[in-house]
């Protein structure tokens, strides 16, 4: 599992998506919901799976306050990687939409097929 720069992804990310990101002290990128949804689509197009979505404040709290985490359902043994990528993108987008009440920022943890065990 990796941050956004898995496999050099950061160098390929379109500039308009990168510009909307906030960089944390731990070097993670956080996006507002609308941009996070665009990043999810772009990442899936790169054939990377999104395995974790984290939501951060504000919600009347200090910026960067951890609000919650969603994990993608495990990669099934008989599921092709491309199907997992599509499913994971859908689950990640649903997590962003469900958590977005205005002002939250979202971190996406990415993985390649080599990173994710099949179950």
User: Is 106 domain-assigned?
Assistant: yes
CATH number of domain containing 87: 3.30.190.30
User: Is 98 domain-assigned?
Assistant: yes
Q: Read off the pLDDT of each residue in 115-119 and give the average, rounded to a whole number.
A: 80
User: Is 48 domain-assigned?
Assistant: yes
Residue 3's pLDDT is what? Answer: 52
Beta-strand ranges (E) seen in 33-84 are 49-56, 66-71
Q: Read off the pLDDT of each residue in 95-115 and give the average, rounded to a whole number.
A: 89
Structural domains of the chain, count: 1
User: Is 27 domain-assigned?
Assistant: yes
User: Is 35 domain-assigned?
Assistant: yes
User: Is 116 domain-assigned?
Assistant: no
User: Is 101 domain-assigned?
Assistant: yes
Residue 4's pLDDT is what? Answer: 52
Supply the range of the domain harboring residue 16.
6-111
- Provide the pLDDT confidence category of residue 34 given band limits of 50, 70 and 90: very high
pTM of the predicted model as reported, rounded to 2 decimal places: 0.87
- CA atoms of 61 and 106, how far apart (whole Å): 15
pLDDT in tens, 39-90: 999 999 999 999 999 998 865 555 568 889 999 998 999 999 999 999 999 9
- Provide the pLDDT confidence category of residue 2 given band limits of 50, 70 and 90: very low
Q: How far is CA 63 from CA 27, 35, 55, 72, in A?
A: 15, 17, 11, 25
User: Is 43 domain-assigned?
Assistant: yes
């Amino acid at each position: 599992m990796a941050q956004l720069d898995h496999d050099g992804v950061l160098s390929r990310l379109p500039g308009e998506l990168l510009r909307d990101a906030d960089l944390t002290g731990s070097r993670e990128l956080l996006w507002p919901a609308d941009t996070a949804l665009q990043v999810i689509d772009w990442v899936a197009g790169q054939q990377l799976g999104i395995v974790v979505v984290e939501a951060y404040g504000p919600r009347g709290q200090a910026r960067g306050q951890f609000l919650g985490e969603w994990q993608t359902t495990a990669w099934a043994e008989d599921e092709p990687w491309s199907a997992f990528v599509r499913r994971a993108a859908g689950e990640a987008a649903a997590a962003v939409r469900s958590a977005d009440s205005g002002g939250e920022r979202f971190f996406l943890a990415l993985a390649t097929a080599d990173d994710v065990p099949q179950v």
